[in-house]
Structure 1
């Protein structure tokens, strides 16, 4: 199975070392890690040097290793994301029950929207195409994140990203996207008007903690159904949801 997946052996070795350090009660040295991982001592030493350089592990004066600040920062980030979902989940359920539409929460991850959680209102087939990630330029939550980019960050994003036309509504020129993002920054509201997929409309709002943008929430559904339910009602519902979560964080 591992051969079929083309597993990288070096990555596996790195995680063997990290697992061994994490499972140890006290900091451990190279010899002990060699015994625990069954890896060659030269390999353990070489990988530890790189991990230490990256702050993934830390060594004491006896050259014994413990988990470093980089890994702890990742753990803190996971806890933070889980806390966000825990706070938001009851209100997501209320939103879906009241509007009968889907609500999603996502974060910015490597210039994409990473969906953390969703709550389903009425099922629609288009939803399966949304998860687990979406481009920034043609998603409502993505535009929320782009609106917080500095001019330099936005320019870099545009230089590195092909604005692929997914539908006839997709914004595919830098000027179009810049204008849309500027409007989002002013209104704190973003739209995906069938830009990601035909028949799908999304409206997103920012989620802040202590004044910092940490996530976004969106309502998504078939364009025709959202129109019947009323744009003003749907828009105000997601705005109210965002304000509620922002007041709780």
Structure 2
């Protein structure tokens, strides 16, 4: 038999909490975590404080916990080796060769877009800040994910989300955003018209595995250059990319 005394109980209890947060799918409070893990509230609270300190978990305004920024970096390193990235990578490289603009793939994480991998096209003639995560409401991939929300989930998001204008084009009106999301739901394509960064335009499409949306992809580049290359050409290429990745998955 295995000698339980040879294992560190603090580490085991920490992963019990992380497992419970993962299985909850939404932010979860201390009482519910204690009930789920069978650990005393004092133990749960103490371990959460340490996890929060190292940014593995974060606490929202309702004093509930969800995975934090640090865990995202672990997730990124793992996902880079995943089937999705392995499948998409050669097609992404081919896309950049033909279109010469950036292409990225990402997944939905805690009502944010988590970027798994990007292939760089031609140099941006402007300073653009690219982040591993971005809000749903002002990114093309984010709108694709919103288009896959149920009506109730979309309403909840539009009600709870704080809309911060990043540019003058950022959509901060929930009803206008809802209309745009519904268009994306029908067309299976979404746009970021300089809503996240000035001078940057993105076109996003869904990625499917066995008819289930599991990720999204987007092409991005300077607005003026995308116009010069041709909207129809770039749109057709990103749509074809989405179809090819979905077929291979």
Common fold, TM-score beyond 0.5? Answer: yes
* Correspondence for 2:40: none
Q: CA distance change for structure 1 residues 53 and 140 in 2, over 3 Å: closer, same or farther?
A: closer
The 2-side partners of 1:119 and 1:55 are apart by 32
Q: List per-residue Cα deviations over 1:135-159 (Å, max 9, x = no partner).
A: 1000000000000011111122122
5 Å-filtered alignment, 1:125-164, equals 128-164=128-164
The 1-side partners of 2:219 and 2:162 are apart by 26
Q: List per-residue Cα deviations over 1:109-130 (Å, max 9, x = no partner).
A: 1111011001111011667512
Alignment root-mean-square deviation, CA: 2.6
* Correspondence for 2:228: 228
* Correspondence for 2:98: 98
The 2-side partners of 1:219 and 1:50 are apart by 39
* Correspondence for 1:83: 83
- Secondary structure in 1 aligned to 2:123? coil
Deviation for aligned residue 1:80: 9.1
Deviation for aligned residue 1:50: 7.0
Does 1:194 pair with 2:230? no
* Correspondence for 1:71: none
- Secondary structure in 2 aligned to 1:234? helix
- Secondary structure in 1 aligned to 2:166? coil
| Contact 2:193 2:201 survives alignment (8 Å) | yes
Deviation for aligned residue 1:79: 6.1
Q: List per-residue Cα deviations over 1:209-232 (Å, max 9, x = no partner).
A: 011111001000000000000000
Bigger mean CA deviation after superposition, 78-87 or 216-225: 78-87
Deviating runs (4+, > 2 A) in structure 1?
Answer: 47-56, 78-81, 125-128
The 2-side partners of 1:237 and 1:226 are apart by 12
- Secondary structure in 1 aligned to 2:82? helix
* Correspondence for 2:53: none
* Correspondence for 2:183: 183
The 1-side partners of 2:214 and 2:240 are apart by 17
| Contact 1:126 1:200 survives alignment (8 Å) | no
Question: Between Structure 1 and Structure 2, whose CA radius of gyration is higher?
Answer: 1
Length-normalised TM-score, structure 2: 0.72
Deviation for aligned residue 1:33: 1.5
Q: List per-residue Cα deviations over 1:87-138 (Å, max 9, x = no partner).
A: 1101100100111111000110111101100111101166751221111000
The 2-side partners of 1:165 and 1:134 are apart by 13
Length-normalised TM-score, structure 1: 0.72
* Correspondence for 1:218: 218
Q: CA distance change for structure 1 residues 27 and 54 in 2, over 3 Å: closer, same or farther?
A: farther
Deviation for aligned residue 1:177: 0.7
* Correspondence for 1:32: 6
Q: CA distance change for structure 1 residues 146 and 28 in 2, over 3 Å: closer, same or farther?
A: farther
Task: Structure 2: state its 5+ residue gaps.
Answer: 21-36, 38-73
Deviation for aligned residue 1:27: 5.2
Matched residue count: 196
Q: CA distance change for structure 1 residues 124 and 153 in 2, over 3 Å: closer, same or farther?
A: same
Q: CA distance change for structure 1 residues 247 and 172 in 2, over 3 Å: closer, same or farther?
A: same
- Secondary structure in 2 aligned to 1:239? helix
Does 1:166 pair with 2:175? no
